[in-house]
Amino acid sequence: MVNSRFRAVEEAFARPPVYAEAPSAVTSDYYGCKVFNRKQMRKYLSTETRERIYESIEQGVVLESGVAEHVAAGMKRWAMDLGATHYTHWFQPLTGGTAEKHDSFSEPYGKGDSLEQFSGKMLAQQEPDASSFPSGGLRNTFEARGYTAWDPSSPAFIMDDCLCIPTVFISYTGEALDYKTPLLRSTYALAKATSEVLEYFGVKGTRVFSFLGWEQEYFLVDSSLCALRPDLIMAERTLMGHDSARNQQLEDHYFGSIPKRVLAFMQDLEFEAYKLGIPVKTRHNEVAPNQFELAPVYEEANLAIDHNQIVMSLMKSVAERHGFKVLLHEKPYKGVNGSGKHCNWSIGTESGLALLSPGKSDEENLRFLCFMANVLKAVYDNNALLKASVATASNAHRLGANEAPPAIISSFLGSQVTKAFEELLNSRDMVKIGAKKGYKLGIPQVPELLIDNTDRNRTSPFAFTGNRFEFRAVGSSANCSSAVTVINTIVAYQLGKFKEAVDGRIASGTPVMQAVLDETRECFRACKDVCFDGNGYSEEWKAEAIRRGLDCETCPPRIYDACTSERTLEVYRETGVLTEPELQARNEVLWETYCKKLEIEARVLSDLSSNHILPIAIRYQTLLLENAAAMKTVYGEERFVAMSPGLLESIEDISRHICSIRRMSGELNALCNELDEIEDSREKAIGYNDRVLNYLEDIRDHIDALEMEVDDQMWPLPKYRELLFIR
Ligand code: ADP
Ligand code: MG
């Protein structure tokens, strides 16, 4: 019998690149063709209707039902012109993915006829049978009603044959059951607080946005190989696998030339993304073998997040066409880099003011320092909450490892901004930020480079990178809303406090700019402990961070406590982003999800141990025993011992591993059963964290040792060298 692993390896090796049907036009010809954007609206909606919908998008005005009727009619015609037959409310439940339930436009009409229908009501609101989505107890199943409601600020689009309408998902009683609702509330809170502070600088009547540019890292693995790894299929990460002799130590993958088969996948993915108006821009190999990155041009956060969610699902379907499976898990392989999703975040105005960019005049620089200080203070005061926004079972494997920031939130500012703040602390006047310095390369044919205002420090979780903060702790599989909502909310809250303080100073006679300057100084003084430019991996930093009062907890179920602390409740109450019951419900979901993820891993590992690994180990051990017995018979005891050094040790070694694996997987199963009895979800999650994780590691060590001993011809699971290097 041929080991199916070898067949899969052969298949993977022989798989040719699949070139997508080359787009016949330049990108700009088909860009956004599957989006109901302003260009399409001009074609399908009357001027009057368009004005109403722009108003709704820009000012959050609720659309009257009559107008919604016109919009729906135009949208339906557009969608049908592009071959759509179905529509869906597309939303982002707390599972982290997206949800859609397709309904056909087609309705029976008369006797034996049908008619395509799509009304304003169908566009505006739906009531999906939502009882199976996680709600953290907000929705009892006997009252399982949840509503989806259209979010006109994110345009409708077509995927396959379906018109997708981005919506929020809320309970019967109005509580948020999704990621989008609090995100939109936080965007609103931030815009309001920012506008109020901007008034000190004479900026009025312009809309304020939070912007997001995500960088999506991912792994590709050949689908034939993946099919033989139940752990990859069920848990999206390898639960076993000995290091490959070669992994990333040659550092030859990062920015290396993109393998042809992968390039074909990327082109196909980009083609699909462009049609959906997603401004993908950058593609490259990442550090680990078979790891890659895709990044778009930044957009308004709500849209950027929808686009990221769409891209993650496009990746999966496009990968299938290319014989790949895409892995979005933060740590699919032990011993090589994991995947993150850096979230580049900034605030700006519609009129083009970038509030986190240093300016030219004193006033512009004060504005810059003012917003910087407020962001830093928000991060300092809420560092535990910010960490909670990215803490998941899968991301916990990545944070603190040698490719990702540590699980302590601090901020890197770079030398020039640090210096500007130091000057601010020591003076009563304005400070100047050094102009960009030219850097002479000494190569005549290459012009002078302008070095950025900031340095680079890859170990910093929340680094300032010239005109934005880069939040690097976000996991590759995450819905970025979780992180962005927290950033928006805490900054909105802080700006509110800042304004109160400045107004107090002004009321007691200080001139406006001086009041802003003085308060900015105090704000920075109070939070400068969050700034750290050193090596985030060092042990000294951990000790120092504790001294500075930064949260150093690494266990996700305990980190989640920060989501309902007194401080957090107050921040969310003041900004109106989430109520206490909503926050508590979300924590329930976090704890439950944590347990489920670990339970799946435990059960998969235990199954694999008993059905895949132990039978093979025993078979190989029997071969060795037969060999020993035959040797002894032919040569006699004494010569056998001399001729076969290590043979018996090997047999004993295998026995030891077999015994340990058998014992521990039994114990692990029993432990899961025991933990499942615990009612309280927090307590249960902590149980999984404290008791199950060790088992996963220990069992794995034995299996990995066996992988090195057992005949390669017999080993059933594709090995790291195959998963990581074949494409
Ligand atoms: P790097 O790998 O050096 O971090 P990338 O080019 O991969 O940089 O990604 C940078 C991301 O930051 C892109 O999505 C880019 O659009 C985004 N970005 C740039 N400027 C801003 C800004 N002002 N606000 C938010 N995001 C930004
Ligand atoms: Mg980056």
- The CA distance from 436 to 328, in Å, is 38
* Best residue for ligand 1 mutational test, from 308, 453, 468, 471 (most atoms within 8 Å of Cβ): 468
Among the atoms of ligand 1, which is closest to the Cα of residue 342? 4
- The CA distance from 689 to 602, in Å, is 12
Containing 496, the helix (H) or strand (E) segment is helix 481-507
- The CA distance from 57 to 60, in Å, is 6
Using CB atoms within 10 A of its CB, is residue 38 exposed (0-12), middle (13-18) or buried (19+)? middle
Contact 683, 703 (CB under 8 A): no
Does this chain's domain 31-178 share its CATH topology with 187-578? no
Among the atoms of ligand 1, which is closest to the Cα of residue 345? 25
Amino acid 433: pLDDT: 61
Q: Where are the domains of the chain?
A: 31-178, 187-578, 592-725
Query: How many A from CA of 468 to the centre of ligand 2?
Result: 11
- The CA distance from 616 to 614, in Å, is 5
Axis-axis angle for helices 481-507, 301-321 (nearest 10): 170
Burial 146-161 (b: 16+ CB within 10 A, else e): bbbebbbbbbbbbbee
Among the atoms of ligand 1, which is closest to the Cα of residue 354? 23
Residue ranges in the chain whose pLDDT is less than 50: 438-443, 445-451
- The CA distance from 633 to 628, in Å, is 9
- Enumerate residues with CB within 5 Å of ligand 2 (an ion): 215, 342
For residue 295, give the ligand nearest its CA.
1
pLDDT in tens, 64-84: 889 999 999 999 999 999 999
Query: How many A from CA of 344 to the centre of ligand 1?
Result: 6
Q: 158: Cβ–Cβ under 8 A, 6 or more apart, which residues?
A: 34, 35, 79, 82, 84, 164
Using CB atoms within 10 A of its CB, is residue 608 exposed (0-12), middle (13-18) or buried (19+)? buried
Phi-psi region of 364 (alpha: psi -120 to 50; beta: other; left: phi over 0): alpha
**Residue whose tokens read 């600088």:** 201
Contact 580, 680 (CB under 8 A): no
Tell the CATH topology of 592-725.
Four Helix Bundle (Hemerythrin (Met), subunit A) (1.20.120)
Tell me if 282 CB under 6 Å of ligand 1.
yes
Q: 203: Cβ–Cβ under 8 A, 6 or more apart, which residues?
A: 349, 353
Report how far apart the first and last C-alpha atoms of the chain are (Å, whole number): 26
DSSP 3-state of 102:
coil
- CA-nearest of 592, 537, 531, 529 to 560 is 592
Tell me if 308 CB under 6 Å of ligand 1.
no
In one-letter notation, the amino acid at residue 158 is I
Tell me if 468 CB under 6 Å of ligand 1.
yes
Looking at residue 688, the DSSP 8-state letter turns out to be I
pLDDT in tens, 255-292: 788 999 999 999 999 999 999 999 999 999 988 999 99
Q: Which tokens go with 316?
A: 């999966």
CA 708 from centre of chain: 34
Contact 713, 256 (CB under 8 A): no
Phi first, then psi, for residue 220 (nearest 5°) are -115, 145
Residue of minimum CA distance from atom 14 in ligand 1: 213
Please name the CATH architecture into which domain 187-578 falls. 2-Layer Sandwich (3.30)
DSSP 3-state of 689:
helix
Query: How many A from CA of 663 to the centre of ligand 2?
Result: 45
Query: How many A from CA of 297 to the centre of ligand 1?
Result: 7
Among the atoms of ligand 1, which is closest to the Cα of residue 293? 7
* Best residue for ligand 1 mutational test, from 293, 344, 468 (most atoms within 8 Å of Cβ): 344
Looking at residue 613, the DSSP 8-state letter turns out to be I
Among the atoms of ligand 1, which is closest to the Cα of residue 295? 14
Q: 360: Cβ–Cβ under 8 A, 6 or more apart, which residues?
A: none
Looking at residue 475, the DSSP 8-state letter turns out to be B
Tell me if 593 CB under 6 Å of ligand 1.
no
Phi first, then psi, for residue 614 (nearest 5°) are -60, -45
- CA-nearest of 1, 235, 3, 5 to 717 is 5
Say if strands 462-464 and 411-412 run parallel, antiparallel, or are unpaired: parallel
Tell me if 296 CB under 6 Å of ligand 1.
yes
What count of other Cβ atoms lies within 10 Å of the Cβ of residue 43? Answer: 11
Amino acid 57: pLDDT: 86
Contact 726, 225 (CB under 8 A): yes
In one-letter notation, the amino acid at residue 411 is S
In one-letter notation, the amino acid at residue 22 is A
Amino acid 493: pLDDT: 98
Q: Rounded to whole angstroms, what are the CA distances from 710 to 245, 337, 720? A: 17, 27, 15
Among the atoms of ligand 1, which is closest to the Cα of residue 214? 14
Query: How many A from CA of 526 to the centre of ligand 2?
Result: 28
DSSP 3-state of 165:
strand
Query: How many A from CA of 298 to the centre of ligand 1?
Result: 6
Q: Which tokens go with 109?
A: 């009409």
- The CA distance from 417 to 434, in Å, is 9
**Predicted model pTM:** 0.95
Q: 76: Cβ–Cβ under 8 A, 6 or more apart, which residues?
A: 87, 105, 116, 118, 163
HSE value, Cβ hemisphere, 13 Å, CA-based, for 161: 7
Contact 419, 434 (CB under 8 A): yes
- The CA distance from 358 to 150, in Å, is 38
pLDDT in tens, 25-66: 789 989 999 999 999 999 999 999 999 999 988 887 888 889
Tell me if 255 CB under 6 Å of ligand 1.
no
Residue of minimum CA distance from atom 11 in ligand 1: 213
Q: Does domain 31-178 have CATH number 3.10.20.70?
A: yes
For residue 355, give the ligand nearest its CA.
1
Q: 276: Cβ–Cβ under 8 A, 6 or more apart, which residues?
A: 32, 34, 35, 157, 159, 307, 310, 314
**Residue whose tokens read 């594709």:** 718
Looking at residue 486, the DSSP 8-state letter turns out to be H
Amino acid 443: pLDDT: 46
DSSP 3-state of 381:
helix
**Residue whose tokens read 């033989």:** 228
Say if strands 324-327 and 208-222 run parallel, antiparallel, or are unpaired: antiparallel
- The CA distance from 130 to 447, in Å, is 60
- The CA distance from 190 to 491, in Å, is 7
Q: Which tokens go with 444?
A: 């005549």
